[in-house]
Every structure is written in C-alpha cells, then in structure tokens.
Structure 1
Amino acid sequence: MRKELWFGFSIMGLVLLSIVWMLLGVDKITHGHQGLLMLSLVVIAIMLGFPTAFTLMGMGMIFTWLAYDGDIRRTLDLMVQAAYKSMANDVLIAIPLFVFMGYLVERANLIEKLFKSMHLAMARVPGSLAVATLVTCAIFATATGIVGAVVTLMGLLALPAMLRAGYSTSMAAGAITAGGCLGILIPPSVLLILYGATAGVSVVQLYAGAFFPGLMLAGLYVVYVIIMAKIKPQWAPPLSAEERRVDLPAPIRALPADAGNHAPRRLLQALKGKRNAEVPTGYVLRQLALVLLPGLLFVLLAAGTWRSVTTVQAEAQYDIQPIGAESSSSAPAEGGLQEPPTDGALQEPPAEGALQEPPVEGAVQEPPGAEPPPAAAAAAEPASAPAATAEAAAAERKPAPTWWWVGFAVLGALVAVFYLFLSFARLEIFKMLLASFFPLVVLILSVLGSIVFGLTTPTEAAAMGSLGGFLLAAAYRRLSMDVVKESVYLTAKTSAMVCWLFVGSAIFSAAFALLGGQELIEKWVLSMNLSKVEFLVLSQIVIFLLGWPLEWTEIIVIFMPIFIPLLDHFGVDPLFFGLLVALNLQTAFLSPPVAMSAFYLKGVAPPHVTLNQIFAGMIPFMGIQILAIFLLYQWPGIGLWLPQTLYGR
C-alpha cells in the first residue's frame, strides 16, 4: 500500500479512536456529544472521498432529525432556512465574477509572455528562473485566483525550462507549487470572501489587510530561493550567456546599435543629422516615447499624490448662537431671517433737553496710534485682503507625511537607476514587460484599488474585473465564442461547487449549534484557562494539522464557525484572526496527503518527476509559511496598518 494511503488511514484511525475514547469516558451521551460525533464522521467521510457539500448536508440532516426526535417537518424547515440564508448573502455574488475574470485572463495566454519577460529581466539574479517563476505565479495567481490553473500552466511552461537549465527537481517543483498557492491569499481571493461571509467581517477590510502579508510571503519565497542559489549553486545554476541574449529588432541594429549601447543617448543622437538615414524618424520618436514613459508616470504620480496628502479637508463651520443672543454682526445675513421693519412701531422719544455731547472743537483729541474710526478701518480692509487670502491658502496645506517622502525617494531612485543603465537589451525587455506584466498589474490594481479606497463594493469591482478580463482577452486576440463558452461553463461549475459548499456548511453549522456541540467545545476550551497567546497558538496548530487531510474550503466552512464565537472571549480581532488563518491555509495546498497543488503539477510533469520529489520541494516553503505567521503575529501592523489607515479601525 502507498505511503499516502497509510497516512490517510492512520489519520482516520486516530479520529475513530478519539470518538470511542470520548464516548466511553462520559457517563451519559448528550446531544453535545452527538454533535462532536457528527463532526468526526464528517472528517472521515471527506477523507474517504465523499463530496464535501453533500456530506455536510447529509450529516446535518441526519443529526438534526435525531435532535428533533424524528420530527421530519422541523428538520426540513431547518434545511430550508439555512439554504435561504446562504442564498440571500449578497457577498457571495462576487465569487462567480472573480472566477470568470480569472478564467478569461488565463485564456488570454499572457502567462508565457509574462514568464519569458520576467526571466530575462531577472537574468542576473541568483536562481533567476525560480525567482521569475515565483513572481509570475504571484502576479498570475492574483489575477486569476485559481490555484489549479496557475500550477498546471506553470508546470507546462516553467518546469521543463528549469529542468533543462539544470535546476534541482525539488527546487523547481517547490517554487511552482508554492507560487501557485499565493492566489488564495493575495486579493482578490475567494477564500477571503468565504471567511468574510462566515465570520461577518468586511471583505473590503480583509482585502486591505491581506495585501501586505501576501507580498511578505511572496518576498520570503524569493529570498529563500536566492539564498539557496548562492549557498548551493548546483540546485539553481546561473543562466548561460546564450539564454540571457536578447534579439534586437532590425531598425535598432540599423542605427547602428548593439545590445549594450545606452539607449536614451543613442536615440537622441539618431535624431541629429543623417545618422538615422535608414531608420524612419517616427520609429525613433516612438522608442524615445517608450523611454520617457517611466519618468512621466513618476512625475504624474508624485504630483497627483502630493495634492492629496498635503490638502487639509475643510470642515463645514456653522455659526450657531444661543436662542435670544444677539448676532456679533450688525449686518443681517444674506438669506437669513431678518428683523421686521420698525416703521410704525414704538420709537425712542427724542432726547430734547437732555444732556448732549459737548462740541469737539478745542476738545482733547485721540492720541496718535489709536484705533482708526470705522470708516478708516473699512478703507484699509481691501488692502489686507490678498495677504489674508495667502495665509488662508497656506493654512489649507499640511506637510507631506514621512511615508510619502520615503516611498517616492525609493521610487525616484529606481527610476534614476532605470535610466542610468537602460541599454537597448533592457529596452526590449521593458517592451516585453509592457506587453505582458503591466496589463495584468493595471487590471489587478484597478480592481483592488477601487475596493480598498471605497470607490466600489467587492461585487461591483468583480464585475469591472470581469469586463477587464474580457477586454484583455480581446486585446490579445484570444477572445472567441469557444473561449467565452468554456469560461462561462468553468465559472458556473466552480461557483456551484463553492455555493453548494456554503449551503452545506450552513446546514451543518445549524445542526451543530442545535445539538450543543459548539457550547460543549466552548466550555472545554474555556476550562483550560488559556491566555490570548495560548489560544492563538492552539487554534493555528489545529488549523495547520487540519490542512493535512482537508482542503481550505472545508476548513473555512466547517471549523471557522467553531473558532469565531471564541474570539470575543479572548479579545481577538476577527480581522486579524482571518489574516492568520489565510496565511496558515496555504498549507492546505502544500501539505500531504491532500496537497492538491502537488497532484496538479504531477499531472503535467515529465514521467521521471516523482510525487515524493514534489513533496520534498514543498517542505521548505511550508516552513516559510510558519515563519510568515510568526512575523504577522509579532508585528500585527503588517496586516492591520492599511485597514487602520484607510478605515480607522
């Protein structure tokens, strides 16, 4: 019998022994113990290969019927109510739209161009092919969110290239499988939508919170590959000069120019005299426009963000006075309530015969420097108006924050380095990136930016992303009726699986709560007198172990409803807990025996690549995931800074 089967049967045996030990250790079997029995049987049935959604529904129905003492009517009522509650959840509408966007982007055939341009751009980096594979997987997984599609395509494209270059099979397989799994963490992620719908957490805030942890995890993968390529170069040998060579187009060679020439200087020289007699001036100008594009974008971005970060938002001022108080100004406000005219009203009697002010002739005059009379003050007001306006305009500005200066200093340094070392070979690589990398980045940032900055809801952004994927496939001439039909069919299939899973989860959770299983677990956990740290460590260990036999969808819909009610008692933010869980659930695709990414890769790998070699390549990346969880726990700001900055959490 294979090792994987032995491992699976061992896990099931441990679950069965736990059930027997629990039932034998109690004096009376209550409904709560039946709930725990239902939970254990669901895990065993899923490991035996039964469909998850219908297993959850079936077990929920059976144990609800037992809880209601055989009352089938109340059992069916519970099922209908749970199913309707799932159907009425508008957060789930974003799932088919994001999935449809992913399938359209996948069929635009961008991944081949993206991988080639990335590996040429990183040709001098140690382990360049593996680094390019991780970056390509991260970008493509973010655009699609479909782990199986990314791992399969990169297995067909990058694995043969790395094996031909002499890479270790384990290193190559680990980079592909780990990079392909990033789509379940980096937004837009279906996992985060399901967690938000289950835990009642804003999906917008989850997307904002998961952005930097996802980049951190991808960065740790890249750092690991570079370090191992330096320590053990036989695992990831450098590319040869022939593999790094970039072919120049004929007009560039006719300037004349070679790959090592400084592109901006040579193009400017080509505009003088007859040095470009064989090259059209329009072609040279177009190349110069491409050269100037990064600098122009930097200036526009800096100018646009400067105004937003230095402008003080004016608050509306209302001159509210107490009832009966007199206004500080004798002049009536325009459009306000005015005193009625006093014509015909009682007037003050004339003060004839009363004491009058003495004549001012020869009287004491105001000393010099005294305040001018009202007429003189009114005359001086127009002269001081420009100065007051300038002071008010200066008061509406505030200094730019430190992060803005640091960010644009780094970005400016990168732009300067780009121009300093821009040869014609690098210009060709830049054009390849413009055709493959930047369209995907623009699509991703437009979707995520519109969600994170509150311009659209996740559902509206998903619809916009679907339109973007449609236009991207059309722009690359990959859009056809067959592509649309296949994308719609796969979207319907995936969405139906996720939504049926959510319905099954709702029925199972309702039955589990009805039996009192949740209450029994809460009492058991609270009786342990755990601190907040101990609870987080225990919960993450449980989720890590569950990732071995189960997939992330099953963990989210079955076990998150058990953990979430305990968060309030231990003072854990559900958003922060969700980020820890999302990082942890990467293991569900990388941990045997149910490491689905390993089976995706094995299905397209050459025959000599064994499953054990793929599993061996996954283990270091699982260790990196544990390190990422530790870093996120030690510095929660990695995940919480962006939601706090944008939404004031």
Structure 2
Amino acid sequence: MEFLPLIMFAVACMVLLLGYPVAFSLAGTALIFAAGGIATGVFDSAFLLATPNRLYGLITNQTLIAVPLFVFMGCMLQRSKLAENLLESMAELFKGSKGGLGVSVAIVGMLLAASTGIVGATVVTMGLISLPSMLKRGYAPSIATGTICATGTLGQIIPPSIALVLLGDVLSSAYQQAQRDMGIFSPDTVSVGDLFVGAIIPGLCLVGLYILYIVIMAKFRPDLIPPEEEKNDNSSRVALSLFHDLTPPLLLIVVVLGSILTGIATPTEAAGVGAFGAILLAASRKKLTLEVVRDVCRTTTRVTCMVFLILIGASIFSLVFRGYGGDELIQSIFEGMPGGVFTATLVVMIVIFLLGFILDFIEITFVVVPIVAPALLAMGLDPVWFGIMIALNLQTSFLTPPFGFSLFYLRGVAPSSIATSDIYKGVMPFIMIQLLMLGLLAAWPQLATWLPDTIYN
C-alpha cells in the first residue's frame, strides 16, 4: 500500500496514452482509487470533502484570470497579421548579410512568442509565413524547419508566457506548502512576475545562441544557407517600414512587461492592458472585423475551458494523491537518493522531459509539478530558478523527435515536399543549444535569479 500513489500516477498516464481527455482521465482515475480506498478503509473521505473549497479557490484566483486575457491578446495579434509585415521588413533590413533571413525568422519568432505566448500558434504562423520564403531563397529544408520549430517554442520561456503564468500559480502553492511542512509560517511566496523577470535573461541568451548558430552555418555551410542578395540601397525606406511594423507590437510588449516589472500592475491587470492593446493594434491595421472578434472569442473560450477543466481534474487528482500519503512518499524518496537535492532535481528534470513527449505543458504543470515541487523546494531549491528550469526543459521536449509537439504543428502546415526526416534533422542542433542553455542555467542559477533579486530587493 505504500507505493499506491505511484501506482495511481502510472495508471493515470496509461489512461492518457489510450487517448482519453486529460481532465476526465485525471479526475476519473483519482475518484476510482478514492472509491476503492474508502471501501477498503485505507482512504479518508475527508480529502474529497475538501474539493469544493479547492474549486472555489480556483474560481477566485486572481492570477488565473490572466490566462484568458493573455490567450485573447495572442489570438488577436495573430489575426492582425503582425508577423507577416514584420518578417518582410526585418528580412529587408538584413538583406545582404549572411543568414539574414534566418536571423529575421529568429527575431520575429521571439517577438511573436512574446506577443502570443502560445507555442502552437507561433509555430503554425511562422511555418505558413516564413517557410515558403526560406525555401524559395535556397535554404536547406532541415535548416528552415529547424529554425521555425525552435523559435516557435520560445513562447514557453519568453514572457508573457502562458506556461509561466500557470507555473507561477502552481509554484506559489507548492512553496507555501513546503514552508508549512518545514514549520515556517511566512507570507513570502513566488509570483508570476518573479518568473517573468527571471525568464528574461535566459530567454534572450537562448535567442542569441539561435542567431549565433544560424550565422555560423551561413558562414561555413553556404550549401545549406546560401548567400543573401545584394543589400537594399534604399535604407531609409527600409528603416521607416521597420519602424512602422516593429513599434506597435514592441510598445505593447514593453507596456505589458514594464508595468509588471515596475510593480505598477499585477500580471492579471497587465494582461487586461495587453488584450485591450491588441484590439487597438488590430483596429489600426483594419483587421478588427466582427468575424475576427467572433473567432478570437471562440478560440479564447475553447483554450480557457480546456485549461480550467484540466485544472479541476488535476486538483481532484492531487487531493487523492495527498490522501494516500503521496507527498510524504515523494519527499522520502528524494531525501533517500544518493547525491541529495542534485540527484533529485536531475531525476525530476528527466521525468518532466520524457513526459513532455506525451503530455502538454498544461498537464505537466498541474499534475507533475504539484507532486514534486513541495519536496524539492523544502530541500532548498530557489522557486524562480526551478520554474525557469522546468519551462526550458518542456521547451526542449517540445522539440525532441519523434513526439515533440512543435514538430507535429509544423508538419501540419509544411508542404508535402518537406520530409518528416528533414524536420527531425533540422531540430537536432537546436536541441543541443537548448541542452547547453539548461546546463548553463544549472551551473549559474544567477542567470534566472539575479534580475528578480535586483529589481525586487
């Protein structure tokens, strides 16, 4: 009976692999195990009685209100054709430089990730816009597809990211639980703003490594990235066009993130400002039609319902998991590992990486993180560093063949002339870059913690 929580977790994963909806798989598995435990007298039904209070807490959670607002902002910006014009202007700016179009794709992908925060939307949008242009200019299919997949996953780490919003809420609860388990009653917690600030330096470093790889390949492998055309002489026209296309989205990003970093607004309030700004931007581009508003609202409702249904199912699952003593079991396993917190963290990162093949970041955030985070945080891990490591880890698993979600997103919009093997081959160097960034962050946690400590302390 001691390992019953782990058996329940394994059963839930098996049910998910059978293709059943995530929310119902989690809640259904938990309720079946709870019913069996009540019938045999090994489970206290009082844990299930806490479900209404837990759900009421979700409904009244101010942080989670940011989720539909950021989703609405991203969908509206996507429909405003932001990326198309920006990519054209950026490509003109870098025309004549080695790997100019590839660098443009990386930068636009970063800006689009910061604007939308949704990996699938970014990969599909960049695939439809930039893949034909890159192939037309002679880029090898592997380089073109790898660049698009990698930059599309930046939505996991570049704030304002939906993944960081959800991670911030879960880690906040886990941090408070870890403190209570240690007998510490402190109002200190970890906020979404902390994760946003902590993700800025690792995110920019990752983009810089992407660009460095593209430039090096353009210099030493002209067969994969051919030389660009002559530089456009009309630099003033290009600069004006770039200013016109770049200023509105960049201003919106600065306002949203700046208001959070300076403490003027909470992430939820900043998300509201971002959603309103996206409406104004779409209106300025004459894209704000009734059909667009209807489609954006439908998409936002669909995504939000999915997130909160999974959250409800995960809440029931975590209650039953704790009722069976799963949190104490996990903590005892971690503390008994040779190497202490290092080994425990490494094992958790490997498990999250592998689960990233079959589960979306939402399921991992709501199911796995609440199980392992309290024990690891009680062992002394910094919650901001831990959150950024998880986000980077999930971003890497999204790229890894054969099950990476980003690969399937691009495969769905890529022409049939692009072989799936080309996509797999193209992402391998970027996976190495991701692992390098994970290693750098593990070796120097200050990459994630320095900026939050500087701003908030």
Q: TM-score, normalised by structure 2?
A: 0.92
Cα drift, residue 546 of structure 1: 2.2
Structure 2: how far apart are the matches of 1:235 and 1:429?
27
Unaligned runs of 5+ in 1: 1-29, 246-258, 260-424
Q: 1:124 to 1:640 in 2, by over 3 A?
A: farther
RMSD over aligned Cα atoms: 1.8
Deviation of the 1:119 alpha carbon: 1.1
DSSP-derived class of the 2:154 partner: helix
Equivalent residue number for residue 310 of structure 1: none
Partner SS, residue 203 of structure 2? helix
For the structure 1 residues 77 and 535, does the alpha-carbon distance in structure 2 shift closer, same or farther, using more than 3 Å as the test? closer
State which of 182, 199, 202 in structure 2 corresponds to 1:210.
199
Distance in structure 1 (CA, Å) of the matches to 2:440 and 2:98: 25
Task: Check conservation: 1:108, 1:476, Cα contact below 8 A.
Answer: yes
Residues 80 and 285 in structure 2, CA contact (< 8 A), matched pair in contact too = yes
Asked whether 1:96 is paired with 2:74, we answer: no
Distance 1:600 1:463 in 2: 28
How far does the alpha carbon of each residue in 1:83-111 deviate from its partner, in whole angstroms, 9 at most, with x for none?
Answer: 22322222100000011111111111121
Query: Which of 314, 318, 326 is equivalent to 1:509?
Result: 318
State the alpha-carbon separation in 2 of the partners of residues 628 and 76 from structure 1: 42
Aligned to 1:446: 255
Q: Which residue of 1 aligns with 2:178?
A: none
Matched, 1:224 2:210: no
User: Which residue identity does 2:204 align to in structure 1?
Assistant: L
Aligned residues: 438
On the 8 A contact 1:447/1:461 being kept in 2, the answer is yes
Pairing partner for 2:228 from 215, 229, 239: 239
> Could you list the per-position Cα deviations for residues 421-457 of structure 1 after superposition, in whole angstroms to 9, with x for gaps in the alignment?
xxxx221111111121121111001100000110001
**Cα pair distance change 1:517/1:76, threshold 3 Å:** closer
* Contact in 2 for aligned 1:168/1:235 (Cα 8 Å): yes
Q: Which moved more, 1:78-87 or 1:493-502?
A: 78-87
1:195 offset after TM fit, Å?
Answer: 0.9
Residue 132 of structure 2 aligns with an amino acid whose one-letter code is P
Query: CA deviation digits over 1:318-340, x for unaligned, max 9?
Result: xxxxxxxxxxxxxxxxxxxxxxx
Letter of the structure 1 residue corresponding to residue 26 of structure 2: L
Larger-gyration structure (1/2): 1
Q: Tell me the distance in 2 between the aligned counterparts of 1:427 and 1:554.
A: 49
Q: Is the 2:97–2:228 Cα contact (8 Å) retained in structure 1? A: no
Alpha-carbon shift at residue 624 of structure 1 (Å):
0.8
Q: Which stretch shifts more, 197-206 or 538-547? A: 538-547
Aligned to 1:68, the other structure's residue is in SS state: helix
How far off is 1:612 after superposition? 2.1
- Give, in whole Å, the separation in 1 of the partners of 2:52 and 2:83: 44
The secondary structure found in structure 1 opposite 2:403 is coil
2:274 maps to 1:492: no
Does structure 1 conserve the Cα–Cα contact (< 8 Å) formed by 2:344 and 2:376? Answer: no
Distance in 2 (alpha carbons) for counterparts of 1:122 and 1:461? 33
After TM superposition, list the pairs within 5 Å mapping 1:45-444 onto structure 2: 45-69=15-39, 77-200=49-172, 201-241=190-230, 244-245=231-232, 259=233, 425-444=234-253
* Structure 2 residue aligned with 1:562: 371
Give, in angstroms, the shift of residue 166 of structure 1. Answer: 1.3
Structure 1 contact 547–591 (Cα < 8 Å) conserved:
no
- Residue 141 of structure 1 and its aligned partner are, at CA, apart by 1.3
The alpha-carbon deviation at position 67 of structure 1 amounts to: 2.4
Matched, 1:635 2:444: yes
- Give the distance between the partners of 1:469 and 1:577, measured in 2 at CA: 31
Deviation per CA, 1:148-175, whole angstroms, max 9, x where unpaired? 2221121111111111111111110010
Matched residues in 2 for 1:126 and 1:534: separation? Answer: 43
Letter in 1 for 2:76: L
* Equivalent residue number for residue 537 of structure 1: 346
How far residue 594 of structure 1 moved from its aligned partner, in angstroms, is: 3.0
**Partners of 1:620 and 1:477 in 2: CA distance:** 40
Deviations 1:357-404 (A, max 9, x none): xxxxxxxxxxxxxxxxxxxxxxxxxxxxxxxxxxxxxxxxxxxxxxxx
Q: What secondary structure is seen at the aligned counterpart in 2 of 1:586? A: helix
CA distance in 1, matches of 2:79, 2:140: 30
What is the distance in 2 between the residues matched to 1:533 and 1:524?
Answer: 13
In 2: Cα distance, 1:625 partner to 1:125 partner = 25
Q: Shift in Å at residue 73 of structure 1?
A: 7.4
Distance 2:204 2:18 in 1: 36
Q: Distance in 2 between matches of 1:468 and 1:75?
A: 43
Percent identical:
41
Match of 2:9 among 9, 16, 39: 39
Task: Please name the residue that 1:548 is paired with.
Answer: 357
Equivalent position SS for 1:69: helix
Does structure 1 conserve the Cα–Cα contact (< 8 Å) formed by 2:96 and 2:229?
no
Asked whether the 8 Å contact 1:546–1:555 carries over to 2, the reply is: yes
Aligned partner letter, 1:234: D
Cα 1:156/1:461, change in 2 over 3 Å: same
The AA in structure 2 aligned to 1:472 is L
Please name the residue that 2:180 is paired with: none
How far is the alpha carbon of 1:581 from its aligned partner?
0.9
Decide which structure has greater helix share. Answer: 2
1:456 aligns with 2:246: no
Whole-Å separation in 1 of the counterparts to 2:367 and 2:267: 24
The 1-side partners of 2:197 and 2:59 are apart by 26
Q: Tell me how far 1:120 sits from its aligned partner.
A: 1.3
Q: State the alpha-carbon separation in 2 of the partners of residues 125 and 547 from structure 1.
A: 37
Task: State the match for 1:324 in structure 2.
Answer: none
- DSSP 3-state at the match of 2:83: helix
Q: Which runs of 5+ in 2 are unaligned?
A: 173-189
Equivalent residue letter for 2:17:
M
User: What amino acid is the match of 1:452?
Assistant: L
1:645 partnered with 2:451: no
The answer to whether the 8 Å contact 1:186/1:211 transfers is yes
Contact 2:48 2:320 in 1 (8 A): no
Q: CA deviation at 1:75?
A: 7.3
Conserved 8 A contact 2:118-2:161:
no
Over residues 236-263 of structure 1, what are the superposed CA-to-partner deviations in whole Å (9 max), with x where a residue is unaligned?
A: 111223xx54xxxxxxxxxxxxx3xxxx
**Structure 2: distance between partners of 1:627 and 1:490:** 35
User: Which of 559, 572, 580 is equivalent to 2:389?
Assistant: 580
Tell me the residue number matched to 1:610: 419
Partner letter of residue 64 of structure 1?
A: A
**What is the TM-score of this pair, normalised by structure 1?**
0.65
Q: Is the 8 A contact 1:550 1:594 kept in 2?
A: no
